[in-house]
């Protein structure tokens, strides 16, 4: 059972019909460039373009819950063996915990070395917190118990209505396990869910045609609203965050792929269209369906992709983890709040939990940061108002890193499960143009 392709390259490029006009990658790049130009030349017009970006992301978000439900349910049911489901899930969670911990640690080290918040000397009395209420919205749960209770939906359909991906994931896992336990009796229902999944992916294919327009609107609003000149003293934080995200992707994730005989550079090139869509919309969810399709084309088995990718979008947010540690310590530095080793370790422990509740959409990292600081009580929550002007600029790097982290995670888990077509994978992301060019495989 393979997912319908949403503009993903077919297995045999020689038989692929030639598309007319520029590719989606080029179209989105043109949209981003046009948005930047409009935001700089006519800021008010750029701000007025906000509905275009919000409408596109809204259409994608509308489809995420049913896609996660159908793909995860069918993926688990398709495995048949519940022991295999548990094994794949356990390996995925283990990998997620290791990599998110590494991401948190990398962010912590860099922010201590660079010290982007030193010298600001902000106080709660001097900060303008008027924009926090609108940005953060309703209060969010804090504490271990509250976060786990947040996984339980009030009703089956309630999770879909609220758009809570983690709650939908819980329902999908339960449904998949139930269908797998029913064996042949569930075959008609599994087939129906798969056909429904095909329908949602067909809708995604239609919506993606509006990606250039959505990227144009989102980028025009960002530049027009905040302006490149608003970075000011926070440029040091932004630069260090982007540099850290690049280091994590090309060095940390690069080494992980290198151990399997693959190239992170070729993976980036392979996913270039999805990365550009994420860049333009600041939402890693906007590329989730296409990412799943591309990973199957790469050679990862459909059941593993359907289980690991949606789960990773809730539990493996590497970019968000880097941002959370750097932003937390930045606020502490800016407000002259000293944190001893014990307090920093406690902060990391809380972040390991709260980062799992951040969805891959614009602004989630900012909300999670507020919830984390509120939980620990060591750094004033009001300090995050320092980040209001630049958080939107950093959301792109968060989303891009999150997507790359989940792509690598799926490849790794597929390899661990021996459900990765190595020849196909080497053809797409190997070190050379042929399997012989890749590093020798470890026995």
Contact 370, 151 (CB under 8 A): no
358 Cβ contact partners less than 8 Å away, ≥ 6 residues apart: 317, 320, 364, 365, 367, 368
Q: Classify each residue of 29-52 as buried b or exposed e, where b means 16 or more C-beta atoms within 10 Å of its C-beta.
A: bebbebbbebbeeebeebbebbeb
pLDDT at position 229 is: 53
Contact 261, 438 (CB under 8 A): yes
Domains parsed from the chain with CATH numbers: 13-437 (1.10.3860.10)
pLDDT at position 255 is: 94
Report long-range pairs for 158-162 (Cβ below 8 Å, ≥24 apart). Answer: 159/65, 160/65, 160/66, 160/69
pLDDT in tens, the chain (443 residues): 444 444 444 333 333 444 566 777 678 778 888 888 888 888 888 888 888 887 877 787 787 778 778 877 877 776 666 777 778 888 988 998 899 889 989 998 998 888 887 776 767 665 555 555 555 454 455 555 665 666 777 888 877 777 666 777 788 888 888 887 887 787 888 888 888 888 887 887 788 788 788 878 877 886 777 666 544 556 778 888 899 999 999 999 999 999 998 999 999 999 988 888 888 777 777 788 889 889 999 999 888 898 888 888 777 888 888 888 888 888 888 888 888 888 788 788 777 766 665 544 445 566 667 667 766 667 777 777 677 656 667 778 888 898 999 999 999 999 998 999 999 999 888 876 444 334 444 43
pLDDT at position 178 is: 86
Structure tokens belonging to residue 332: 């502490």
Phi, psi at residue 8, to the nearest 5°?
-75, 150
Structure tokens belonging to residue 35: 């948005």
From CA 48, how far away is CA 250, in angstroms rounded? 36
Find, among 282, 286, 242, 285, the residue nearest to 362 by Cα.
282
Phi, psi at residue 310, to the nearest 5°?
-60, -40
pTM of the predicted model as reported, rounded to 2 decimal places = 0.72
């Amino acid at each position: 059972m393979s997912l319908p392709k949403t503009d993903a390259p077919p297995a045999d490029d020689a038989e692929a019909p030639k598309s007319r006009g520029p590719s989606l990658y080029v179209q989105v790049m043109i949209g981003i460039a046009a948005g930047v130009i409009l935001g700089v030349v006519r800021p008010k017009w750029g701000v007025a373009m906000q509905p275009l970006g919000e409408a596109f992301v809204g259409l994608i978000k509308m489809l995420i819950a049913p896609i996660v439900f159908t793909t995860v349910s069918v993926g688990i049911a398709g495995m048949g063996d519940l022991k295999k489901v548990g094994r794949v899930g356990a390996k995925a969670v283990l990998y997620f915990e290791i990599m998110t911990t590494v991401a948190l640690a990398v962010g912590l080290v860099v922010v201590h070395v660079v010290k982007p918040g030193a010298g600001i000397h902000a106080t709660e009395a001097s900060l303008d917190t008027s924009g926090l209420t609108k940005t953060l919205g309703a209060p969010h749960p804090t504490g271990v118990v509250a976060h786990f209770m947040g996984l339980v939906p009030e009703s089956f359909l309630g999770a879909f209505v609220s758009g809570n991906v983690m709650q939908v994931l819980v329902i999908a896992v339960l449904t998949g396990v139930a269908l797998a336990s029913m064996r042949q009796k569930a075959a008609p229902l599994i087939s129906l869910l798969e056909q429904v999944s095909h329908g949602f992916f067909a809708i995604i294919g239609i919506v993606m045609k509006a990606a250039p327009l959505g990227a144009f609107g989102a980028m025009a609003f960002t530049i027009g609203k905040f302006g490149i000149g608003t970075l000011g003293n926070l440029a040091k934080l932004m630069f260090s965050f982007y540099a850290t995200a690049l280091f994590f992707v090309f060095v940390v994730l690069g080494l992980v792929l290198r151990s399997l005989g693959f190239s992170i550079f070729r993976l980036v090139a392979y996913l270039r269209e999805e990365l550009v869509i994420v860049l333009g919309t600041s939402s890693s969810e906007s590329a989730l369906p296409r990412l799943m399709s591309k990973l199957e084309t790469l050679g990862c088995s459909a059941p593993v992709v359907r289980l690991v990718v949606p789960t990773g979008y809730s539990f493996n947010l590497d970019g968000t983890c880097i941002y959370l540690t750097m932003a937390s310590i930045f606020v502490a530095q800016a407000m002259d709040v000293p944190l001893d080793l014990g307090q920093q370790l406690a902060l990391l422990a809380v972040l390991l939990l709260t980062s799992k509740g951040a969805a891959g959409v614009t602004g989630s990292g900012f909300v999670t940061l507020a919830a984390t600081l509120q939980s620990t009580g060591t750094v004033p929550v009001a300090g995050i108002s320092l980040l209001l002007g630049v958080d939107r600029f950093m959301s792109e790097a968060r989303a891009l890193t999150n997507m790359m982290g989940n792509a690598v995670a799926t490849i790794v888990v597929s390899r661990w499960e021996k459900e990765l077509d190595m020849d196909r994978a080497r053809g797409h992301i190997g070190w050379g143009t042929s399997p012989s060019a890749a590093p020798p495989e470890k026995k």
